[in-house]
Amino acid sequence: MRTGDGRRIGINEVATRDGLQMEPRFVETDDKVALVDALSTLGYAKIEVTSFTSAQAIPALRDAEAVMQRIRRAPGVVYTALVPNVRGGERALECRTDEFNLVMSASETHNLANLRMTREQSFRQLREVIALAGRAGVPSNVSLSCVFGCPMEGEVPIEGVLGWIARFADAGAQGITLCDTTGMAYPTQVQALCAAALQRHPGLQLTAHFHDTRAMGLVNTIAAVEAGIVQLDMSLGGIGGCPYAPGASGNVATEDVVHMLECLGYCTGMALDGLIAAAGQLERLVGHALPAQVSRAGARLKRHAPPPDFEAIRERALARVAAAAGPVRR
Amino acid sequence: MRTGDGRRIGINEVATRDGLQMEPRFVETDDKVALVDALSTLGYAKIEVTSFTSAQAIPALRDAEAVMQRIRRAPGVVYTALVPNVRGGERALECRTDEFNLVMSASETHNLANLRMTREQSFRQLREVIALAGRAGVPSNVSLSCVFGCPMEGEVPIEGVLGWIARFADAGAQGITLCDTTGMAYPTQVQALCAAALQRHPGLQLTAHFHDTRAMGLVNTIAAVEAGIVQLDMSLGGIGGCPYAPGASGNVATEDVVHMLECLGYCTGMALDGLIAAAGQLERLVGHALPAQVSRAGARLKRHAPPPDFEAIRERALARVAAAAGPVRR
């Protein structure tokens, strides 16, 4: 494991889309806007604000237009949103979405189960969305699900994943996110896929997206960064579960990843105190504890006071030393 | 990050001591014995069975003698116990404890707050315990707390830690455990201390002991193993909290670490299915959910069934393909 030597890592926040979409309690539009506005001050490269899916499909994000129109945009931050199809793309363009995030699975079974299309059908649909975005001068990123394994198929061969990356690059996608949708990735596998994708597509913006379902989210993050990935998805508070592992945590938590990267000497440009405060804000909005650790424990050098009777403890201990030494030897 | 290439890593279980000592619900002696007996079949190098502290100090482990005498010992497993002083050492020897685990902090403030002695006082007391064990032909291991940081003092200088390791080695300790008591370690720091300790003391058995308080437990585990450590402490289910971070998780979870090491190609010799079953047994005994992830999610290639209407989904999708292709081109 190597030090970061100040290498810059871009941090993408997905809590407001990938996290909130699964929450049973509807977060009011005002609160969503206030949360995004708070996040905008913290140093993110990208914030995935919402999803232009149908209100029936994801009721938690039925206020996509309102949120996207009302947020205060900070210079330098890319405000992205999930776009499932051409209709969603038109809605996203009307709201001045900076980037489209498209989703498809590298696993045929997962794509059918999740999106009700074959991968070929998804690809053709997304190619139209990429073209629509391109005509408006808006870049598209494709989040490829299950690239490190499928909960139904098992292993997903690396060559198949690389094939989809190449097809989307040819179709005009500016970025690809390698998503470990259900937490099946492990570090050496992560390194192999990230290194191969970077090597074959030097012009593509590659992002890694890990889940902590099997406790390897941060380990895989380091593996990706050591392989050359400089853009990472993460979710404030670790919000966003995994339907295939009830009770297990989902997305890696922004405050945990940022804290680790800074310890290792990478430069995230993020304000950890502000992140912890925003995680508290998010926790109040969703109404339950979030799985992130650093929000609870604080940064590693956070000081705690000694016990209230510490001086008395020390005096008694030192008195025992004096008694043991005896009067003569003093 | 490197593959394990089949390198053998010895796994030490601490749930029955480090974990249970903090649990509010008393676990019955019969249940403790049954748990240790179950663990004994799973491939551990070492099991920390109990603590020979006073019943007043740790009521949860007041049945130390009974547990130690009644467990069925598996060949090859080292049954260790915490021994705080000479009286505890005499009790441990009466119960045929295979190894003494002694505890001292590398931080003066933490040692005073936790053990009510200066480090010098602790050292002199433990030196007597090591001598007692040595006369009985029993090895001693010293668990050095706070070697990667102290929640009250902050950074703990590496040279000070190396000094205590050298003094305990000179005093006859056969092993040293480098303990990240409150989750302050980070990977490059772990590598620096582990590498220095291994280099200076090639004859000492060095163990690493990490907490996941700031989500870096598994990352630090890899760092230690890559630095050459071949013996690791961990706790089934991740049981055992951290008093300085309420709500944060404590010890790294055995099933999570073993799963990760096996994914990376290390050989732990552990049976993961058995571990997950034993974690369920432990969860029922303590009466609350445990923080480990792999017990909930299963191993990475655990297969899930597609949705019940999967065939109908696929047929509808394929029908759309056929319709789009049209009759002429078929």
Going by their DSSP bridges, the two strands B46-51 and A205-209 should be labelled as unpaired
pLDDT score, position B81:
98
Average pLDDT, chain B: 95
Decide if B245 and A184 are in contact by the 8 Å CB cutoff: no
Q: Using CA atoms, how far apart are residues B31 and A107, in angstroms rounded to an integer?
A: 45
Q: CB burial class (10 A; 0-12, 13-18, 19+) of residue B299? A: middle
Segments in chain A forming alpha helices (H) = 29-39, 64-70, 86-94, 108-115, 119-135, 158-170, 187-200, 217-227, 254-263, 272-286, 294-297, 310-329
CA distance A303 to chain B (A): 5
Out of A218, A302, A304, closest to residue B215 by CB? A218
Q: Which residues of chain A have pLDDT under 50?
A: 329-330
CB A245 within 8 A of CB A220: no
Residue-level pLDDT at A247: 66
pLDDT per residue as tens digits for the range B257-310:
999 999 999 999 999 999 999 999 999 999 999 999 999 999 999 999 999 999
Q: Is A1 exposed, middle or buried (CB count within 10 Å of its CB: 0-12, 13-18, 19+)?
A: buried
The separation between CA A218 and the C-alpha centre of its own chain, rounded to angstroms, equals 11
Q: How confident is the model over B77-92, as pLDDT tens digits?
A: 999 999 999 999 999 9
Q: Does residue B329 register a pLDDT over 50? A: no
SS3 call for B174: coil
- Other Cβ atoms within 10 Å of B16 Cβ, number: 27
pLDDT at A100: 98
In the stretch 72-91 of chain B, residues with CB closer than 8 A to chain A read: none
Is residue B84 classed as helix, strand or coil in its secondary structure? coil
- Interface residue B247 vs chain A (CB under 8 A): yes
Neighbour-count burial for B79-118, b at 16+ CB within 10 Å, e otherwise? bbbbbbbeebbebbbebebbbbbbbbbbbbbbbbbbbbbb
Instruction: Report pLDDT for B210.
Output: 98
The predicted pLDDT at position B1 comes to 87
Mean pLDDT, all residues of chain A: 95
Chain A positions in Cβ-Cβ contact with residue B3 (cut-off 8 Å) = 188
pLDDT for the residue numbered A330: 40
pLDDT for A320: 86
Ordered structural domains, chain A, with CATH: 10-304 (3.20.20.70)
Quote the pLDDT of residue A329.
44
Active-site residues of B: which are they?
242
Residues of chain B with pLDDT > 90, as a percent, come to 92
| pLDDT value for B330 | 41
Task: Please give the pLDDT value at position B274.
Answer: 97
Beta-carbon separation of A222 and B187 below 8 A: yes
Residue A112, pLDDT score: 97
Grouping H, G, I as helix, E, B as strand and the rest as coil, residue B221 is helix
Burial track A148-175 (b if 16+ CB lie within 10 A, e otherwise): bbbbbbeebebeebbebbeebbebebbb
**Tens digits of per-residue pLDDT, B176-231?**
999 999 999 999 999 999 999 999 999 999 999 999 999 999 999 999 999 999 99
Per-residue model confidence (pLDDT) at position A325? 63
A302 near B CB under 8 A = yes
ipTM comes to: 0.95
What is the pLDDT confidence band of residue B245, given thresholds at 50, 70 and 90?
A: low
Is B256 near chain A, with CB under 8 Å?
yes
User: What is the pLDDT at residue A321?
Assistant: 75
Report yes or no: A219 at the B interface, CB cutoff 8 Å: yes
